[in-house]
Amino acid sequence: MKKTFIAVAAVLALTAGSAMAGGDGDEELSVSSNTEINNVANVRTCLFFFGFNWVDGEAKANIGNEQLTFNNTLEPGKMKHHHKDHGDDPTATVGGGALAKASGNIGVNVAAGVGNNQSNDVALAAIDADNVFAAATSVSHQKTFGNSEKRMTNTATLDGGALADAKGNIGVNIAAGAGNNQENALAASINKSGVLAMATGTNDQTTSGNKETGVVDMATLGGGALAGAVGNIGVNLAAGVGNNQHNSLAIAVGAKL
pLDDT of residue 190: 86
User: What gap in Å lies between CA 187 and CA 69, rounded to an integer?
Assistant: 25
Higher pLDDT, 86 or 140: 140
* Predicted confidence (pLDDT) per residue in 105-126, tens digit: 999 999 998 889 999 999 988 8
Q: How confident is residue 235, by pLDDT bands cut at 50, 70 and 90?
A: very high
Residue 184 vs residues 46, 123, 223, 248: alpha-carbon distances, Å: 25, 12, 22, 6
Q: What is the pTM of this model?
A: 0.75
- pLDDT band of residue 5 (cuts 50, 70, 90) is very low
Mean pLDDT of the chain, nearest integer: 75
The answer to whether position 187 is within a domain reads yes
45-49, 185-189, 191-195: least confidently modelled range: 45-49
Tell me whether residue 193 is in a domain: yes
pLDDT for res 37: 37
pLDDT given for residue 94 in this prediction: 94
**pLDDT at res. 147:** 93
Residue 3 within any structural domain of the chain: no
**8 A C-beta contact, residue 178 and residue 115:** yes
Mean pLDDT of 13-31: 33
Would you give the distance in Å from CA 17 to the centre of its chain? 11
Poorest-pLDDT segment among 49-58, 63-72, 78-87, 167-176: 78-87
Asked whether residue 89 is domain-assigned, the answer is: yes
- Look at residue 1 and tell me if it is in a domain: no
pLDDT bracket for residue 194 (50, 70, 90): low
CB 121 within 8 A of CB 185: yes
With respect to residue 4, please indicate whether it lies within any of the assigned structural domains: no
Q: Provide the residue range defining the domain that includes 143.
A: 9-254
Q: Residue 112 and residue 175: Cα distance in Å, rounded?
A: 6
Kindly list the distances between the CA atom of residue 86 and the CA atoms of 29, 34, 112, 228, in Å, as whole numbers in the listed order: 5, 20, 13, 39
Q: What is the pLDDT of residue 55?
A: 54
Does any domain span residue 206?
Answer: yes
pLDDT at res. 36: 43
- Please compute the mean of the pLDDT values over residues 182-203 and round it to a whole number: 85
**Total count of domains within the chain:** 1
Does the structure show a pLDDT above 90 at 164?
yes
Please indicate, yes or no, if residue 2 is contained in any of the structural domains: no
